[in-house]
Each structure stands twice: as C-alpha cells, then as structure tokens.
Amino acid sequence: MSRIDVKKTYKLFIAGQFPRSESGRSYEIKGANGKFIANPALASRKDLRDSVTAAKLALPGWSAATAFNRGQILYRIAEIMEGRSEQFAAEILALEGGTSKDAKAQVAQAIDLWVWYAGWCDKISTIAGATNPIAGPYYNFTIPEELGVVGIIAEQKESLLGLVAAIAPVIAAGNSAVVIASEKRPLPAITLSEALATSDLPAGVLNILTGKVSELAPWMASHMEIDGLDISGVDSKIEAELRVAGAENLKRIHRFNKSPSPQRMLAFMESKTVWHPIGV
C-alpha cells in the first residue's frame, strides 16, 4: 500500500506565529482543476486588528535597523525561498493552472525581486534625499523615512509574484505591513510566511492574512493605526469606498502597475526636511 501523505494545515501569520483565525472560521480552496485543496483560515476583523497591533509593535525596531541590515534580511528571504522553490511552484501550478514552466518562472521572478529590493534598502535615501541650497546660513537636508504600518491587498492573479511585488518594497522602505493574500490562491502566501519566519525578519514586520478581500479591506481602510494602503489587488468597484474610509486618517492610498520601481518604496515613505543653523 502506498504511503498516505501528510497534508498541511494552512494558518495565518501574525506576530511571527501561525494562529488559526480567532473566529474559528475557514474556507475552501479549490485547485485550477476544480478539486479540493485546502481549508485555510478565514481571517476576521479581530485577526486584522491583532495583525495591526503586531505590525505597530514591530515598527520601531525594523525602521531603526540599519539599511544594510534590512538589505541582508531581504536577501536572506530570497535565500530561504530558493530552497523551497519546488514547493512554491507546485502550489502555484495547483492553484493557477498553466504549465510547470510558468509556475517555476513565477517563483524565480519572485525570488529575484527580493534580491532587487534588498539592494535598494541602502540606496533609496541616496536617490530620493537631497541637500537643499537654501538662501541663508542653514544646513538643510531632506531624507525619506518609513511611513509606518501599511495595509496591502496584493494583486490577486499571480499569487506569489503579485504578493512579493507588493510586500518587498514596503518592508525595504522600513515599514511594517499587514497583508491580505490572494483570496482564491492563498497557499503560496502561507508558504512564504513560513520562509519569512525562518529568515531573520523580526516578528510582526509582515503579517499575512487569508480570507475575503471584500470583508477585510473596508476594515483595513478605516483602521486608524494603518498609515498607508496598497490597493493593487482590489476590485475597482470598491476602490472609492476604501478611499473614502481611508480619508479619516488621510491614509496614503496607492494602486500600482506590475513593474518593480523605487517609486513603490517612495509611495510609502515620507520626506523629512531638517534645518540647522551654520555658525561658529
């Protein structure tokens, strides 16, 4: 008799741990072939709030880490993902269909994207900062800083690449984040959280929820401790609703196209300008 394989329970990733939803709910995920694959957690509003608390707690340490240190940790994420390439590819293939070659290509792109953003950590200030030649005896400089806690609703179709394209620039910039994974294809996101948990990323910097975008996104938009929102994966029908809710604390809300860019980091950074007199 052939061996019965051991299936994984897919859970949330909050504060570096893997809890089920506090609501006790789960939902069914089917593969591209229509067959049952898993019952991941159906995250609730409370799970979201717990995630924001974790992100808020992780923020001071992560944003104060040196850019060099952050770059090394992002690179480490790429290293750990590389070792799990086949698992990612298998999950992508099962959920998205297509060819094995496509799935592998998506994994490779996602890993390379981490490497690309790892290198940006200690360069973004150089290209986005300035010393400003003001008309007076003052030294004056501008530097970009992290925005704070960013809510991310990642692009839904490319379940791994869309996710990495959104989270890598946000944490490279020194932010912490709460992420809603692809609703119908959440498994690579959960596997990614297992890679994150073993890659020296401090607990709480990234928190990944699985569940319904339509349920969680409005709570994300109205949460007063979330400073920015990446709505790239949101149906345009609810975009206006989210922007109205986000206006309550003037969230920085952005939707991006797919291409990697330092602008994706800068969209969730704030420019700070410092003046000091010059004199003897």
Partner 1 sequence: MSKSPFEYAPAPESRAVVSIKSQYGLFINGAWVEPKTKNKFATINPANEEVLSKISQASDSDVDRAVKAARDAFTKTWSKMPARERGKYLYRIARIMQERAREFAVLETLDNGKPIRESRDVDIPLAAAHFFYHAGWADKLEYAGLGANPKPHGVVGQIIPWNFPLLMLAWKIAPAIATGNTVVLKPAETTPLTALLFAEVCQQADLPAGVVNIITGDGATGAALVKHPGIDKIAFTGSTGVGKLIARSIAISGKSATLELGGKAANVVFDDAPIDEAIEGIVNGIFFNQGHVCCAGSRLIVQENIHDEVLEKLKRRMSLIRVGDPLDKNTDLGAINSAEQLAKIKELSISGDAEGAFRWSPDCVLPSKGFWFAPTIFTGVTQAHRIAREEIFGPVLSILTFRTPQEAIEKANNTPFGLSAGVWSEKGSRILWASKALKAGVIWANTFNKFDPASPFGGYKESGWGREGGRHGLAAYLKGAK
Give the separation between CA 267 and CA 239, rounded to whole angstroms: 18
Stretch that binds partner 1, among 32-40, 66-74, 202-210, 264-272 (CB under 8 A): 264-272
Distance of CA 84 to CAs 72, 79, 130, 181, Å? 19, 9, 41, 19
DSSP category for residue 248: G
**Minimum separation from the CB atom of position 52 to partner 1 (A):** 16
Name which of residues 29 to 58 contact partner 1 (CB under 8 A): none
**Minimum separation from the CB atom of position 22 to partner 1 (A):** 29
Candidate residues 24, 135, 237, 280; the one interacting with partner 1 per rule CB under 8 A: 135
Tell me which residue of 195, 211, 190, 198 sits closest to 10, measured CA to CA: 190
- Check binding of 17 to partner 1 (CB under 8 A): no
- Check binding of 271 to partner 1 (CB under 8 A): yes
Task: Compute how many other C-beta atoms are within 10 angstroms of the C-beta atom of residue 24.
Answer: 9
- Check binding of 68 to partner 1 (CB under 8 A): no
- Check binding of 125 to partner 1 (CB under 8 A): no
Q: Which is nearer to partner 1, 17 or 131 (CB)?
A: 131
Using the CB atoms, write b or e for 250-268: b if 16+ within 10 Å. ebbbeebeeebebebbbbb
Name which of residues 228 to 247 contact partner 1 (CB under 8 A): 240, 243-244, 246-247
Candidate residues 1, 4, 34, 277; the one interacting with partner 1 per rule CB under 8 A: 277
- Contact between 141 and 131 under an 8 Å Cβ cutoff? The reply is yes
Instruction: Give the contacts of 87 (CB within 8 A, at least 6 positions apart).
Output: 191
Please count the residues of this chain forming the interface with partner 1, following the rule CB under 8 A: 37
- Check binding of 128 to partner 1 (CB under 8 A): yes
Give the separation between CA 121 and CA 77, rounded to whole angstroms: 14
Would you tell me which residues interact with partner 1 (CB under 8 A)? 127-128, 130, 132-136, 138, 140, 142, 145, 227, 240, 243-244, 246-250, 252, 254, 256-257, 261, 263-264, 267, 270-277
